[in-house]
Each structure stands twice: as structure tokens, then as C-alpha cells.
Amino acid sequence: MKFKRQCFWLKKLGEKWRKPKGRQSKLRVEKKGKWKRPSIGFGRDKTQRELIKIKGELKTPIIIKNLRDLNRLNPKRDVGFIASTVGTKKSNEILKKANEIGVKIVNRKIKNKKEK
């Protein structure tokens, strides 16, 4: 669940949560019809805080920057995320190797170069 700041429609303020402090603020008073405010009940257990849910199973996300990082992954327990700094050629190699090992990569798909 993403909590919205009071003036979330103003682009320059961004969407990061800020506590509403206005005197007549409907969100501060928690009027009906306004969106939710963060509170203690929305948190997770410490043991599950870093885990992500994929097809009903909780898995540990691990960032992959090169082929050697794939060896650290346990296919039953971990899920791979290819780092944003990795290029197309290297990410394709990582994806092919991951398919051989049986590791799930969440954020990328194999890209083909356009033929001229």
C-alpha cells in the first residue's frame, strides 16, 4: 500500500509521505473518504521485512551485477534482480545462464537486436 501525501498532485512536492499539519486538514483529522495514513498496523514482522512475495511464496531478492553473482543464488529460496547498470548484452547472458540453473529473474526479459 502506498500512502499519499496531502498535495500529491503537485509534481514539485513528489509523492513521499509527509504528515499533514494544516489547521483545517481533512487528512489530519482522518475524515471519512480520505486516504489512509501510515500507522503501526501496516508493518511486517522483522523476519519478513526484506522478503518479497512471488506467486504466494516469500523469497529473498538478490541484485545481480555479473555472471558470478548467479552462483550465490539458491533457486528455492532466492530471486534475482538484474542491476540497472548492466547492459543488454550482459543481461541476456545472465538470463540464459539463469534459465540453465533454474533461477527466476524478475525484472528483465531477453531482448533481441533489431536486424538492419
Give the count of beta carbons closer than 10 Å to the beta carbon of residue 70.
Answer: 17
pLDDT of residue 68: 92
Give 92's DSSP letter. Answer: H
Residue boundaries of the structural domains of the chain: 1-43, 46-101
**Exposure of 107 in the CB half-sphere (CA atoms within 13 A):** 15
| pLDDT band with cut points at 50, 70 and 90 for residue 113 | low
Over range 88-115, report the average pLDDT: 85
| Spatial separation of the C-alpha atoms in residues 64 and 70, rounded to whole Å | 7
Q: What is the pLDDT of residues 8-36, one digit of tens each?
A: 778 888 878 888 888 898 888 888 887 87
Amino acid occupying residue 65? K
The pLDDT value recorded for residue 29 is 85
pTM for this entry? 0.61
Is the predicted pLDDT of residue 86 greater than 70, yes or no? yes
